[in-house]
Structure 1
Amino acid sequence: MSRQTNKQLRDIPLSVLDLAPVVEGATPAAALRNSLDLAQHAEKWGFHRYWLAEHHNMTGIASSATSVVIGYIAGGTTKIRVGSGGIMLPNHAPLVIAEQFGTLESLYPGRIDLGLGRAPGTDQVTARALRRDLNGRADDFPELVEELRYYLNPPVNPETMPVRAIPGEGLRIPIWLLGSSGFSAQLAAQLGLPFAFASHFAPNHMLAALELYRNSFRPSEVLAQPYAMVCANVVAADTDEEAQRLATSMQQQFLNLVRGRPGQLRPPVDSMDEIWNEFERVAVHQQLRYMFVGSPATVEKQLQTFLDETQADELMITAQIYDHQARLRSYELVAELVGNK
């Protein structure tokens, strides 16, 4: 993909991905209250949308019942778009998701997004506990997406359908496909849907997936041109040194994933050198390649370079920061540097 410089940070929407972090020593209830507080501030600061992600059996993430949390956030805000980043569709019957998001759209019209992923969002033991069809394959995802779209936008007279999604039927809820490889990129292109890439934890195939999506895109009734959003980790603070220290909480979180011991978000430390070995350091930095840390001036340069590289239509940022006030400050600084405030 050739590098261009025609897009500027101030030209594109900026959005939030909230993983509802449960910090060490706190509870999921506190995490969810913090999420609502962040969403209310994000709305005030001009962020475009606020997404939550489905994860299971993870003590550090409170958004497992994603549609419930979306309702909580939408009910506590007034205009920001709220949605899933994403719902892991293989875990659910498409009819249930159509009903859940039909309900959300009925309650908060014009504000709900439905982002769909094809991974389980958990380990295989937990996937079995979720009662998903363990005989299913990744290749089943297109059929699940089509079934869901059938319920939301019936191609025939709904009166003739044996099964209907009420509420949900006829509501034009924006559907996004999410991915960390070319699979969902190609499917989104074929269906003419917007595409979001999870570069905040899976950076390796981002540019190839974006190129595949754009080159394969077929216009649809919902989208005339490709629309790509990319997600990055951003930790901003008043100084580079403060931001680097805050970022060690996220580094510890990814280190625990590398070690196979996910847990709650830990407090920041002065240095990671006594915590990880060289192999682990390289592994964490590889996964966090698109982690932008520093003062506003530093982060602005990093984000602009990221935009130059991706030519994204929208940027979504996430910040796993232990202290809630520091987390709010990070988003506030980013909003200021892109002109939202």
Structure 2
Amino acid sequence: MTKLSFLDLVPVTETGTIAQSLANAADLACHAEELGYARYWVAEHHGMAGIASAATSVVLAHLGHATKTIRIGSAGIMLPNHAPMVIAEQFGTLEALFPGRIDLGLGRAPGSDQRVARALRRTLASDERQFPQDVLELQAFLAGDEQLGITAVPGAGTHIPLWILGSSTFGAQLAAMLGLPYAFASHFAPDALDEALDIYRRQFKPSAQLAEPYVAAAFNSFAADTREEAELLASSQQQAFVALRTGNPGKMQPPLEGYKNSLPPNARAILDHVLQCSAVGTADDIAAGLKAFVARTGVDEVIIASSMYDHDARKHSLALTMEAGRAL
């Protein structure tokens, strides 16, 4: 069976609060654990009113205390925003709190725009071009490499599993070179999916962490008891994507009946393209979508993304998606 995992952006709804979003994330993580999802990841985004996971390691501690067995991790930590030693200390602390359950997924995007990147870093001297070197430095801190001349405490000796995340061929090449697992962000940036996975598999070099290529890719699932209800629930995420692409991101909006069909043709085409790795409908519809996605990509793991306005509906969608995934 292909593993299913879950990616949560910890959405903040138009009528909700950040405290409620964080409480929902903990409840959803418990639900995912009970359903049998392999891991629960949260992502680093900054300066966005509709996303509550900016302090990613803090959110992971919150989720860890709420759960018992499910792996928790980042998808990802945007490493150019941070000194590698700081991330080694943060995730070393998480590993001490929740041993054997921590994943550290790494990305090279800022997680926002350049203004926010400057506010985070104070200087843009650290940028994506240093990403490969930053990954190696982080690996050295987690390994307790004495050549660094300094020890990350906590962190040293933990050997927390690293993942490289990406939406282009760059991350695929880096993950292959370092012998790390690779996760592709096909839930919102599907263009280079097939090429990136091919490059990763062909160029992969075994490492101490991983003997053979291991690939995960993200897939949007909006499941409900009827196709009509699923289409309605999916409209909140559709609104969010359109708002982001038009430079007007905000809190998650309530579902709108007929939203997609109300868009002008160019906006509808953009939405269809961005969300091409998606399934909307009943458990049977999700099963068909997942089966086709796995047949296309051959991934070892599918990372489910599913942001919805209503928390209970989102929990039900997770359950129907896992039901659909059992046939993989």
Query: When the two structures are superposed, what TM-score results if normalisation uses the length of structure 2?
Result: 0.97
Which of these residues, 179, 182, 200, is aligned with residue 169 of structure 2? 182
Query: SS of the residue aligned with 1:126?
Result: helix
User: 5+ unaligned residues in a row in structure 2: which ranges?
Assistant: none
1:286-297 counterparts in 2 under 5 A? 286-297=273-284
CA contact (8 A) 1:90 1:132 kept: no
Determine helix, strand or coil for the equivalent of 1:257. helix
Residue 110 of structure 1 deviates from its aligned partner by 0.1
**CA-to-partner distance for each residue in 1:115-162, whole Å, 9 max, x for gaps?**
00000000111111102541344221000101111111134xx3x643
Displacement of 1:339 after TM fit?
3.3
Amino acid in the other structure paired with 1:104:
L
Is the CA contact (8 Å cut-off) linking 1:258 and 1:284 kept in structure 2? no
Measured on the aligned residues, the alpha-carbon RMSD in Å equals 1.3
Q: Secondary structure at the match of 1:90?
A: helix
| Equivalent residue, structure 2, for 1:58 | 48
1:4 is aligned to: none
Q: Is 2:278–2:289's contact at 8 Å kept on the other side of the alignment?
A: no
In the alignment, is residue 71 of structure 1 matched against residue 61 of structure 2? yes
- Give the structure 2 partner of residue 8 of structure 1: none
SS in 1 for 2:151: coil
Please tell me the residue identity of whatever aligns with 1:325: D
Aligned to 1:100: 90
What is the match of residue 14 of structure 1?
4
Letter in 2 for 1:103: T
> Which residue does the alignment assign to 1:205?
192
Decide whether aligned partners of structure 1 residues 153 and 110 sit closer, same or farther in structure 2, where only a CA change above 3 A counts: same
Provide the C-alpha distance between the structure 1 equivalents of 2:309 and 2:231, rounded to a whole number of angstroms.
Answer: 13
Match of 1:265 in 2: 252
1:251 alignment counterpart: 238
Unaligned runs of 5+ in 1: 1-10
Distance in 2 between residues matched to 1:115 and 1:274, nearest whole Å: 36
1:13, distance to aligned residue in structure 2 (A): 1.1
Determine whether 1:312 maps to 2:302.
no
Overall identity of the aligned pairs, in %: 51
Which AA in structure 2 matches 1:32? L
CA distance in 2, matches of 1:132, 1:304: 46
Conservation of the 8 A alpha-carbon contact between 1:84 and 1:113: yes
Q: Determine the structure 2 residue equivalent to 1:6.
A: none
The CA distance in 1 between the partners of 2:260 and 2:169, in whole Å, is 35
Q: Which amino acid aligns with 1:144?
A: D
What residue is the counterpart of 1:279 in the other structure? 266
Instruction: Please name the residue that 2:28 is paired with.
Output: 38
Counterpart of 1:141 in structure 2: which amino acid?
F
Partner Cα distance (2:195, 2:80) in 1: 25
Aligned residue number for residue 25 of structure 1: 15
The match for 1:138 among 128, 131, 137 is 128
Separation of aligned partners in 1, 2:160 and 2:214: 16
Q: Which amino acid aligns with 2:204?
A: F
Does the 8 Å contact 2:140/2:148 carry over to 1? no
Name segments (4+ residues, structure 1) moved above 2 Å.
Answer: 135-139, 273-276, 337-340
Residue 242 (structure 1) aligns with: 229
Distance 1:132 1:228 in 2: 35
**Correspondence 1:303 to 2:290:** yes
Classify the secondary structure of the residue corresponding to 2:240: helix
For the residues of structure 1 that align with 2:165 and 2:323, how far apart are their CA atoms? Answer: 28
Shift of 1:279: 1.3
* Contact 2:222 2:281 (C-alpha < 8 Å) held by counterparts: yes
1:194 alignment partner AA:
P
Equivalent in 142, 151, 167 of residue 164 of structure 1: 151
Tell me if structure 2 keeps the 8 A contact 1:80–1:111. yes
Counterpart among 309, 319, 322 of residue 309 in structure 2: 322
Q: Distance in 2 between matches of 1:217 and 1:274?
A: 43
Q: Distance in 1 between matches of 2:128 and 2:94?
A: 27
More divergent stretch after superposition (280-289 vs 37-46)? 280-289
Hey, what's the Cα distance between the residues in 2 that align with 1:273 and 1:217? 40
8 A contact 1:67–1:101 mirrored in 2: yes
CA distance in 2, matches of 1:194, 1:12: 15
Give the superposition deviation at 1:12.
Answer: 1.4
The alpha carbon displacement at 1:274 in A equals: 6.8
